[in-house]
């Protein structure tokens, strides 16, 4: 007997026909259920063909692009004098919930998150908390509700009701940007308080809550008139409070007064643009600007503590601090080794310390104990000296099967690659501290008129790292040099020597590069001008100056560059983040509104008015990642 399928049923249906002269009665059997109907004569022919012809897979039709349709809400969306603890939304088709725990929120927040479930084609929301009197509640679903077949979402769906006689109808719009680069901050929540105290974001739930769209724009709806403070929070522990030191946070610097006279619509300003990599078929993007801007940052770390301890090699021990520490604040003792058996150095930031054990009787041990004394923030917030005994373990890897084989030479890395920029100082680096190079095995030459001329040079140690040497020599633009390093020219303090190597040093000329000169105007004060090379703000060069003034970037590779200005309000020569406890906003930044193209042997002069802060052209902005 032939079979056919009906949309919405999971199994094929058995059908039988009762034929008369003018009609056909049809019985459909689905797991014991019978559906009876009457079909015209034309359908009889169709069914006869279905019964006798070869059965093939359906060819389908146009792809369903429509979101689910809401047939009914119980109680009705927008109800007043609401007294229940649940509501139901009925759709015209089966739906699914996409990342509902992330996207769903209630404004004002409830102490206990409501329970959201699907029952057939209905969405049911229940909660336990008592609702506040005369308050408008908004249940935000964003795009979490999607149809079951094609995943089409209902965008920005909200269910709203009031426990009082009227719905609050005022709203507020804005944007959240990263303070350091003006990019979109993902997974951030916007919170607004009627309690204006500084402690409110840390201790109580907000009066209103919302979440920005992928462009960073947000809207808070159904607000009652009043005075408010606006914040944004990347809520790492899900309690809607700013209570973790590493949470990203933003705060407005003034109280917002919301009245019917300053009602704000959804889209005060929208910019339509085409991305830089757009093709002819690329649709223009829209970027929405709200009226209130928040610039998110992380509070500077204030707690001092030991962040890590490790021993990656037999002779290398390291540990790190949360904050920079002077050498006098950090002391180390190896109880089983005298002070001549090791030495300590630190990185430029003074937050990472390295102990190099030089005595093989010590570093050959699997376990080396160290007594560390370091600054530590106690429970009262005071910095004290804390002492710990830490055991550093290192197990030597097993020798390869078949014997140890040839011992590899000391690996040396250098910045000599292709043509080097005039003024570049060649450097040589290893993974372990370097001994003084054997200059009898090193020769620097230049070929002049087919004759090799031996040139003077010297190696200079880095002032911070014992693993770094600089070659000081007179290297002229346009010239080519040979640096011959015979086997054993370099060695580390453990006796491992380098293999022989020949380095070709070719020095470019100024004509191989372009230059950029920027005339800064429109602002008075200290600024830092950064030259960046890609969308990730990789800093190529930077200069500090007092504006108005000029800054030059010579010897630039050909390519496209961007300019960023940091308003150095505290004149410390670097960007300073915000501090909510101190009431200090992060230092403002701004960007030149286009890319600048640098050409070889070309000097580009560009005027830049930096009078307006927080400017970044939308087409230069990184597009946020989208998830479904």
3-state secondary structure of 36: strand
**360-398 confidence digits (pLDDT tens):** 999 999 999 999 999 999 989 899 999 999 999 998 887
Contact 414, 426 (CB under 8 A): yes
Rounded to a whole number, what is the distance in angstroms from the first to the last CA of the chain?
Answer: 43
Domain borders along the chain are 3-52, 70-162, 170-296, 306-393, 413-510, 513-620
**Which pLDDT band holds residue 28 (cuts at 50, 70, 90)?**
very low
Q: Which tens digit of pLDDT belongs to each residue from 558-598?
A: 999 999 999 999 999 999 999 999 999 999 999 999 999 99
- Average pLDDT of span 127-156: 91
Q: Alpha-carbon distance 30 to 192, whole Å?
A: 55
Question: What gap in Å lies between CA 338 and CA 442, rounded to an integer?
Answer: 35
Mean pLDDT of 548-553: 96
* Phi, psi of 604, deg, nearest 5: -100, 125
In this predicted model, what pLDDT tens digit does every residue of 436-469 receive, in sequence order? 999 999 999 998 888 889 999 999 999 999 999 9
Rounded to the nearest integer, the mean pLDDT of the chain is: 85
CA angle 450, 451, 456 (to 5 degrees): 135
**pLDDT over threshold 90, residue 406:** no
User: Contact at 8 Å (CB) between 499 and 493?
Assistant: no
At residue 78 the predicted structure's pLDDT band, cuts being 50, 70 and 90, is: very high
CATH for 306-393, among 3.30.450, 2.60.40, 1.10.3470, 3.40.50? 2.60.40
Tell me, yes or no, if the pTM score tops 0.85.
Answer: no
- 545 CA to centre of own chain: 30
In 3D space, the residue among 315, 311, 309, 314 whose CA is nearest the CA of residue 374 turns out to be 309
pLDDT 10s digits, 384-394: 999 999 999 99
Q: Could you please state the CATH topology (level 3) that the domain comprising 413-510 is classified under.
A: Immunoglobulin-like (2.60.40)
Alpha helix stretches (DSSP H) within 174-332: 200-203
d(CA 177, CA 556): 31
Under the banding of pLDDT at 50, 70 and 90, the label for residue 46 is very low
What are the backbone dihedrals phi and psi of residue 13, each rounded to the nearest 5 degrees, phi first? -105, 140
State residue 59's pLDDT score: 53
Asked whether the beta carbons of 459 and 545 are under 8 A apart, the reply is no
Quickly state the pLDDT bin for 414 (edges 50, 70, 90).
very high
In eight-state DSSP terms, residue 179 is T
User: What does the alpha-carbon distance between residue 112 and residue 129 come to, in Å, rounded to a whole number?
Assistant: 7
Query: What token pair was written down for 265?
Result: 């619509």
Cα–Cα separations (whole angstroms), residue 318 to 84, 346, 352:
61, 9, 7
Q: What is the pLDDT of residue 146?
A: 95
* Mean pLDDT, rounded, for 312-319: 94
* Bridge partners, residue 594, by sequence: none
The answer to whether domain 170-296 and domain 413-510 are alike in fold is yes
Under 8 Å between Cβ of 13 and 29: yes
Q: At 61, is the pLDDT very low, low, confident or very high (cuts 50, 70, 90)?
A: low
Could you tell me what percent of the chain has a pLDDT over 70? 83
Q: Which CATH architecture has domain 70-162?
A: Sandwich (2.60)
Domain at 170-296: CATH architecture: Sandwich (2.60)
- Residue of 170, 103, 174, 111 whose CA lies nearest to 136: 170
Question: pLDDT-derived band of residue 3, with 50, 70 and 90 as boundaries?
Answer: very low
How far apart are the C-alpha atoms of 620 and 59, rounded to whole Å?
Answer: 44
- Positive or negative, the CA dihedral 185, 191, 192, 194 is negative
CA distances from 457 to 377, 425, 442, 491, 499 (A): 49, 12, 10, 19, 21
pLDDT at 427 over 60: yes
Whether the per-residue pLDDT at 50 is higher than 50: the answer is no
513-620 domain in CATH 2.60.40.10? Answer: yes
């Amino acid at each position: 007997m032939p079979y056919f399928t009906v949309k919405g049923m999971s199994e094929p249906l058995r059908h039988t026909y009762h034929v008369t002269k003018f009609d056909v009665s049809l019985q459909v059997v689905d797991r014991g259920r019978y559906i009876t109907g009457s079909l015209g004569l034309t359908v009889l022919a169709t069914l006869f063909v279905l019964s006798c012809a070869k059965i093939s897979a359906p060819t389908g039709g146009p792809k369903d692009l429509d979101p689910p349709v809401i047939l009914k809400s119980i109680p009705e969306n927008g109800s007043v004098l609401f007294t229940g603890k649940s509501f139901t939304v009925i759709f015209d088709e089966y739906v699914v919930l996409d990342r509902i725990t992330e996207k769903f929120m209630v404004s004002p927040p409830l102490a206990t998150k409501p329970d959201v479930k699907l029952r057939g084609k209905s969405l049911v929301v229940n909660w336990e908390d008592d609702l506040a009197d005369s308050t408008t509640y908004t249940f935000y679903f964003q795009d979490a509700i999607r149809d079951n077949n094609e995943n089409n979402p209902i965008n920005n769906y909200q269910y709203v009701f009031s426990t009082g006689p009227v719905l609050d109808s005022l709203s507020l719009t804005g944007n959240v940007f990263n303070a350091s680069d003006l990019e979109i901050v993902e997974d951030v929540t916007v919170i607004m308080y009627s309690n204006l105290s500084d402690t409110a974001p840390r201790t109580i739930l907000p009066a209103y809550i919302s979440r920005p769209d992928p462009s960073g724009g947000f809207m808070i709806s159904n607000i009652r008139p009043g005075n408010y403070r606006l914040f944004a929070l990347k809520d790492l522990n899900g309690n809607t409070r700013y209570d973790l030191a590493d949470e990203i946070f933003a705060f407005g610097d003034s109280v917002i007064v919301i009245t019917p006279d300053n009602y704000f619509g959804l889209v005060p300003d929208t910019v339509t643009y085409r991305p830089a990599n757009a093709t002819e078929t690329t649709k223009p993007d829209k970027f929405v600007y709200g009226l209130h801007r928040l610039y998110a940052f992380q509070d500077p770390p204030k707690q001092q503590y030991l962040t890590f301890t490790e021993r990656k090699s037999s002779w290398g021990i390291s540990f790190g601090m949360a904050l920079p520490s002077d050498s006098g604040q950090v002391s180390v003792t190896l109880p089983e080794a005298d002070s001549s058996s090791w030495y300590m150095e630190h990185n430029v930031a003074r937050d990472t310390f390295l102990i190099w054990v030089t005595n093989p009787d010590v570093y050959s041990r699997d376990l080396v104990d160290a007594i560390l004394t370091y600054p530590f923030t106690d429970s009262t917030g005071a910095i004290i000296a804390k002492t710990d005994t830490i055991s550093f373990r290192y197990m030597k890897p097993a020798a390869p099967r078949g014997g140890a084989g040839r011992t590899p030479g000391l690996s040396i890395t250098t910045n000599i690659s292709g043509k080097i920029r005039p003024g570049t100082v060649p450097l040589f680096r290893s993974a372990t501290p370097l001994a003084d190079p054997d200059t009898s095995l090193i020769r620097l030459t230049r070929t002049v008129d087919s004759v090799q001329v031996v040139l003077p040079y010297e190696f200079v140690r880095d002032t911070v790292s014992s693993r770094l040497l600089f070659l000081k020599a007179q290297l002229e633009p346009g010239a080519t040099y040979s640096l011959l390093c015979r086997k054993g020219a370099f060695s580390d303090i453990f006796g491992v020597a380098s293999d022989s190597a020949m380095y070709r040093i070719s020095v470019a000329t100024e004509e191989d590069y372009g230059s950029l000169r920027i005339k800064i105007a429109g602002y008075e004060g200290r600024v830092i001008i950064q030259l960046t090379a890609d969308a990730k703000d990789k800093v190529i060069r930077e200069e500090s100056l007092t504006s108005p003034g000029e800054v030059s970037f010579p010897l630039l590779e050909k390519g496209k560059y961007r300019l960023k200005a940091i308003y150095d309000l505290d004149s410390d020569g670097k960007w300073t983040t915000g501090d909510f406890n101190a009431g200090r906003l992060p230092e403002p930044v701004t960007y030149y509104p286009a890319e600048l193209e640098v050409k070889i042997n070309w000097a580009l002069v560009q005027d830049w008015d930096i009078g307006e802060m927080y400017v970044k052209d939308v087409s230069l902005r990184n597009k946020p990642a989208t998830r479904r």
